[in-house]
Amino acid sequence: MGGWGDTILPDQTSEIFTMRRLSFLWFIVLLVITPLGVTGQEEPIVIYLVRHSERAEDGTNDPPISDAGWARSRLLSEILQDAGLTHIHSTDYKRTLSTGEPTAEATGLTIDLYDARDLAAAAALIAATPGRHLVLGHSNTTPGFVEALGGEAGTPIAEMEYDRLYIVTLFQDSVSSVLLRFGEKFSG
């Protein structure tokens, strides 16, 4: 049951599609981060970029993340557990720092702050730093960060959209970018 031609009952749909989506996600991640292993070229710089997780509205300009946000943040940490992260970067807001907290704890990395008002400078610094980076941002900064790295951001991020995971890979002479989705699907 659950094969491509089988009937799937409503209560099975979410689990089966989530498993398939995660399997596909890992296939793409491995495809993106390991293409130069046999060529002898420098290892590419890989940057994972996400918007902060769902926020809890508390009437302030710096709200924390909600329970759903914590669940998405833990899922992000699980997805990236074997990515070999070497750096985590965040804006100085509760919601971005909290989104990165589970990944920082799991990897033993500290979260370095960047100034979202100067994405070009932040992107240039990351592009010049070998390794694998997680960048935590906002709906109005993450697409611009992807573009500052030379990737394709696609459409603007909607107000209630939290499921985008960009992977930008910087090779010696080219850039590759892919947009994936993770966690609870945005339905807007």
Nearest of 96, 102, 111, 110 to residue 81 by alpha carbon: 102
What are the phi and psi torsion angles at 51 (to 5°)? -80, 155
Average pLDDT, the chain: 86
Would you state the pLDDT for residue 21?
54
Mean of pLDDT values over 2-26: 47
Tokens 């070999």 belong to which residue? 84
Would you state the pLDDT for residue 186?
77
Give tens-digit pLDDT for 78-122.
Answer: 999 999 999 999 999 999 999 999 999 999 999 999 999 999 999
d(Cα 81, Cα 54) in Å, to the nearest integer? 21
d(Cα 20, Cα 154) in Å, to the nearest integer? 23
In this predicted structure, the answer to whether residue 37 has a pLDDT above a threshold of 50 is no
- Residue 108 carries which side chain, given as an amino acid letter? G
Give tens-digit pLDDT for 120-164.
Answer: 999 999 999 999 999 999 999 999 999 999 999 999 999 999 999
Domains defined for the chain, CATH in brackets: 12-181 (3.40.50.1240)
In this predicted structure, the answer to whether residue 64 has a pLDDT above a threshold of 60 is yes
In this predicted structure, the answer to whether residue 12 has a pLDDT above a threshold of 80 is no
